[in-house]
Amino acid sequence: MSVYVDPPIAYAREPRGYVGRARIAHRWAHMIADAEAELHAMAQAVGLRREWCQGDHYDLVPSRRALAVRLGAVALDRRAFGAKLRQLRTGARMRRRACCRGGDVEQGTTCSTPAGKPSVHDASAGLHAGSSPAASTK
């Protein structure tokens, strides 16, 4: 399992969590991981708050990216990072589909909804508790 970062690029606006802070040339990188726990652990290690998570990644200023690399994150070029992100997102989507269709998930187990929030699976209805049928088929 690993944590990955891409090279910083310039953006026109500041990402959530950094709004209103003086930054010269808003350059941001992204951090993803094979496992959600790894992602949050690395984010905490480099000084990011959990509420700054963008679902499946964190935005990083160049200094936090450098710290993440020093702490063991794998630096990828933009193309390799994009491929890794697609691979992770496809895997998450496939796990959600198996869960929502009853797959090999047992009654009452916890899994992620399309919004990425944990919920209890109801295999008999093919739904997550509190979700609508339209949301569970995506």
CA–CA distance, 77 with 88 (Å, rounded to integer): 16
Mean pLDDT for the stretch of residues 53-70: 92
21 three-state secondary structure: coil
Q: Which helix (H) or strand (E) holds 37?
A: helix 36-45
Per-residue pLDDT reduced to its tens digit, 8-27? 987 666 656 666 555 555 78
Per-residue pLDDT reduced to its tens digit, 91-135? 877 776 665 555 544 444 445 444 455 544 444 444 444 444 444
Q: What pLDDT shows up at residue 94?
A: 75
CA–CA distance, 122 with 130 (Å, rounded to integer): 10
Maximum Cα–Cα distance across the chain: 54
One DSSP character per residue, 62-114 reads HHHHHHHHHTTPEE--HHHHHHHHHHHHHHHHHHHHHHHTTTTPPTT-EEE-T
